[in-house]
Chains A and B, each alone.
Chain A
Amino acid sequence: MSPKMQNTVRLTLSYIAIAIACVIILYPVLWIVGSSFNPGDSLSGSSIIPKDATLAHYKSLFNTAESDYLLWYWNTLKICIITMILAVAMISSMAYAFSRYRFVGRKNGLMTFLILQMIPNFAALIAIYVLAYITGLLDTHFALILVYAGGLLPMNTWLAKGYFDTIPKELDESARIDGAGHFRIFWQIILPLAKPILAVVALFSFITPFTDFILAQVILRSEEKFTLAVGLYKMISDQFGNEFTTFAAGSVLIAIPISILFLSLQRYFISGLTAGGTKG
């Protein structure tokens, strides 16, 4: 085979492999989008491109009398945003303390974080359930937000601390000589310089609660308090098949905004995960 032939064969095979991969990736996506426009409740006799497409399922999701979907959306966004603010505030101040101060207990504190980040926070799910139950916090968003925020702290504090360590200490020192206090250095010097890592932490703190199913399933009981994950699961598990087209519409409405958010910010995700993986 001549080198030119070899090249053509290689490229053709590559394109074929890529095409197969694309079909496998896109098929479920197209199927669910198609289903969401499919008239009727079930899928029997449907095709991936429905003949008489309808927006009825989307309309019924937006009809608050018929469905709690909008409420679930609102609950989810509320929980995610509050978790994000809480987590970022705590993580940045803890990372600042760990990065810039040498105090009694620092090493033990860092070790504790390192060990805690290894334990998946739903490992203690029985305890979280029982504790929420006896403190009367079962079925509240408050409990869920606290559990999410707490679970985010160990890993992300390490992540942020690693970044803070790279900000030159001379900046703090010169500010200190100019008379800036501890908090002012944190607020006016470190935080503005740490924006990239704060963006990563904020992103993680938003996405983690958004995509969590298990903790929400354990803590939330009543339908009007559900998050999207629990609500969508209920929609499909209660009467599988009977409401599938509405479920499909609900899925599409979650997947589109989150995918766009994700794809536009994936650079941050990857940089955060790489740093998290190699720095601990």
Chain B
Amino acid sequence: MEATERQTKHRKTALALSIIPGFGQFYNKQILKGLMFFILTVSFAVAFADLINIGLWGIVTLGEKLPRDHSIFLLTQGIIAVLVILIGLVIYFLNLRDAYLNGRNRDLGIPLNSVKEQYRNVTDQGFPYLMLSPGFFLLIFVVIFPILFVILLSFTNYDLYHSPPANLVDWVGIQNYIDIFKLDIWRDTFLDVFSWTIVWTFVATTGQIAIGIFLAVLMNQKDLKFKGIFRTIFILPWAVPAFVSILVFAGMFNETFGAINNDILAAFGIDAIPWLTEPFWTKVALILIQFWLGFPFIFAMVTGVLQSIPDELYEAATVDGANIWQKFRGITLPMVLFAIAPILITQYTFNFNNFNVIYLFNGGGPAVSGQTAGSTDILISWIYKLTFTSAQYGKAAAITMILSAIVIGVALWQFRRTKSFQEEDMM
């Protein structure tokens, strides 16, 4: 191997020349590829120079002069500029990498690919990127971009009084977060909403899980008749779109014409209950409704698990003299909980963010005087109100960040325990 002994420095030279994209490839005598890199870089720079220039200026200053500058447009352009720069950096990195690798091949005396081979390489290796690009493009614009936007927004004073085009928006650092925890009016509301969100999440979710497991176990008794019909009925609340059921419940709990007060409670001789005007009763109603809406899902899941528990386990327990309760505690419950644990956690995060039931039932009301949140608002519905009723965009974004941190924290904790994380195929 004569070639390896020759101490050439092609890789370093190629890498150094590639500081101007394409020149490393020229040095490696891959003229066509070099030209492509060069042209791509130049056109990239020319096409996006203005955007990057204005965008970076805009994202730093958020505008200086009215009416010329629109802070939110500038913020948007700034994020796009940053994304464009990132894409540019990726291309630049690929250029450096290509020059270096080919230079190393030359150092090792491995012949470089011909133009034809390069073309095949590009189509082969490029195929997965081709398949991914439409989805990724959409993700960047409708998921990643909005997330970046909210993160940045939470560090601005964007609200009714600082709202373009009449006013400029400014960076305020972590002022929004400080206000939420320090200013009395914000802290009190935040604590009220937060504590109710936690109570709501735990009571509603635990209740629906308990009911779901109970009914599934009940239905799993071998000598029960009409199982098919009962199972279908039990799944029904899941089958009806939730927004329809919730609105129907809003009618049923209505204090003037609803069936709960007028028909059911009246039949038992109980006085009308102020379901929609008394915070306590609204909370009770919401939790009951969520039981109704949420148990069928757990019921269906647990039914599936129960059918997979081998009969021998129960038979052995019977021989050992276990009663029904002991069998449930010792065999059924552990197996069920183990099998559906990941799903249970998603149920908690789902209810933590269950906007529909809160908003559609009573709009988060009854209202609390002097607060931006109603007495049954959870974090997500409060964010909605801050955005669309009080135009407190900056604060709403800050609360969104707090909420997301909680949800992601729980989700990460969960995913560390599930298969996908340990899957060696991750790479």
Chain A contacts to B: CB under 8 angstroms: 7, 10-11, 14-15, 17-18, 21-22, 24-29, 31-32, 35, 42-44, 48, 89-91, 93-94, 96-98, 100-103, 106-107, 109-110, 114-116, 118-131, 134, 146-147, 149-151, 153-154, 157-158, 162, 165, 182-183, 186, 210-211, 213-214, 218, 229, 232-233, 236-237, 240-241, 244, 247-248, 251, 254-255, 258-259, 262-263, 266, 270, 273-274, 277-280
Indicate if the CB atoms of A25 and B237 lie closer than 8 Å. Answer: yes
- B100 CB → nearest A CB, Å: 14
CB neighbors of A among B351-406 (8 A): 353, 355-356, 359-360, 363, 380, 383-384, 387-388, 393, 396-397, 400, 403-404
Which residue of the partner chain A has the closest CB to B363? A237
State which residues 61-90 of B face A: CB under 8 Å: 72-73, 76
Pairwise interchain contact A232-B244, C-beta atoms closer than 8 A: yes
Query: Nearest 10 CB-CB pairs, A to B?
Result: A280-B420, A150-B142, A124-B146, A127-B146, A118-B411, A127-B149, A101-B128, A97-B128, A262-B239, A90-B135
> Is the CB–CB distance between B400 and A124 below 8 Å?
yes
In the complex, what distance in Å separates the CA atom of A32 from the CA atom of B252?
9
Contact assessment for A97 and B132 in the assembled complex, using a CB-CB cutoff below 8 Å: yes
Flag if B393 contacts A146 (CB, 8 Å). no
Given A98-B132, A232-B243, 20 more A-B residue pairs with CB atoms under 8 Å apart are A7-B223, A18-B219, A28-B248, A106-B128, A115-B408, A123-B150, A123-B353, A124-B147, A126-B150, A127-B153, A146-B142, A154-B143, A211-B241, A213-B359, A213-B360, A232-B247, A237-B363, A241-B257, A263-B236, A273-B297
With contacts A28-B248, A266-B300 taken as known, whether A280 is within 8 angstroms of B419 at the C-beta atoms is yes
Interface residues on B, range: 35 or more
Contact of A270 with B300 in the complex, beta carbons under 8 Å: yes
Contacts of B144 in A (CB 8 A): 116
* Segment among B43-51, B175-183, B339-347 that sits at the interface with chain A: B339-347
A126 near B292 with CB under 8 A, answer: no
| Cβ–Cβ < 8 Å partners of A210 in chain B | 241
A130 to B343, Cβ gap below 8 A? no
Give Cα A153 to B316, complex, Å. Answer: 46
Q: A232-B244, A255-B240 are in contact. Are A110 and B426 (CB under 8 A)?
A: yes
CA distance A49 to B189 in the complex (A): 45
Residue among B125, B135, B136, B230 making CB contact with A22, cutoff 8 Å: B230
Cβ of B224 and Cβ of A102 under 8 Å apart? no
B224 to chain A, nearest CB (A): 6
* B259 at the binding interface (Cβ < 8 Å): yes
Question: Which residue, A7, A106, A114, A214, has most C-beta atoms of chain B within 10 A?
Answer: A214
B247 touches A251 (CB 8 A): yes
Q: Does B256 interact with chain A (Cβ within 8 Å)?
A: yes
Tell me, yes or no, whether B266 is within 8 Å of chain A by CB. no
**A150–B139 contact, CB under 8 A?**
yes
Query: Quick one: which of B239, B257, B383 contacts A44, CB cutoff 8 A?
Result: B257
- Residues in A whose Cβ lies below 8 Å from that of B388: 129, 218
B42 within 8 A of A: no
Check B346 against A277 for contact (C-beta < 8 Å).
yes
B204 within 8 A of partner (CB) = no
Contact yes or no, B396 A126, CB < 8 A: yes
Q: Are A21 and B215 in contact (CB under 8 A)?
A: yes
Collect the chain B residues with CB atoms within 8 Å of residue A237's CB: 363
Contact partners of A218 in chain B: CB under 8 A: 388
CA–CA, A90 to B56, complex, Å?
Answer: 32
Asked whether A120 lies within 8 Å of B353 as measured between CB atoms, the reply is: yes
CB < 8 Å: which of A29, A153, A158 contacts B139?
Answer: A153
A244 with B257: CB separation less than 8 A: yes
> Chain A residues near B426 (CB, 8 Å)?
107, 110
A134 touches B143 (CB 8 A): no
- Chain B window 100-143, contacts with chain A (Cβ cutoff 8 Å), 1 for yes, 0 for no: 00000000000000000000000011011101101110110111
A101 to B415 Cα, complex, angstroms: 24
Measured CA separation A247–B251 after assembly (Å): 10
**B415 smallest CB distance to A (angstroms):** 6
Contact with A along B223-262 (1 / 0, CB 8 A): 1100000101111111111111101111110101101000
Taking a contact as CB atoms under 8 Å apart, the answer to whether B343 and A277 are in contact is yes
B427 contacts the other chain (CB 8 A): yes
Cβ–Cβ < 8 Å partners of A129 in chain B: 387-388
- Asked if A122 and B244 sit within 8 Å, CB to CB, the answer is no
| With A116-B139, A122-B380: A127-B244 Cβ-Cβ less than 8 Å | no
Q: Is the CB–CB distance between B149 and A258 below 8 Å?
A: no
Answer yes or no: B53 CB below 8 A from chain A CBs.
no
Task: Write out the residue numbers on chain A whose beta carbons fall within 8 Å of the beta carbon of B135.
Answer: 90-91, 93-94, 153, 157
Q: A125, B142: Cβ atoms under 8 Å?
A: no
**Interface residue? B312 (CB, 8 A):** no
Q: List the B side residues contacting A251 at CB < 8 Å.
A: 244, 247-248
A residues in contact with B244, CB < 8 Å: 232, 251, 254-255
From residue B149, how far is it (CB to closest CB) to chain A in Å? Answer: 4
A127→B124 CA distance, assembly (Å): 38
Q: Which residues of chain B are near A118, meaning CB under 8 Å?
A: 407-408, 411-412, 415
Q: Are B257 and A42 in contact (CB under 8 A)?
A: yes
Say whether, besides A107-B426, A211-B242, A279-B420, A130 and B149 are in contact (CB < 8 Å).
yes
* Distance of A135 Cα from B183 Cα, bound (Å): 35
Contact B404 A119 (CB under 8 A): yes
CA distance A245 to B42 in the complex (A): 66
- Given A214-B384, A233-B243, A280-B420, A102 contacting B251 (CB threshold 8 A): no
Q: List 24 A-B contacts (CB under 8 A).
A: A89-B134, A90-B134, A93-B131, A106-B427, A107-B427, A118-B415, A123-B403, A126-B396, A127-B145, A127-B147, A128-B142, A130-B149, A131-B76, A131-B146, A149-B138, A150-B141, A153-B139, A213-B359, A213-B360, A218-B388, A236-B247, A247-B251, A263-B239, A266-B300
- Cβ contact of A259, chosen from B240, B259, B360, cutoff 8 A: B240
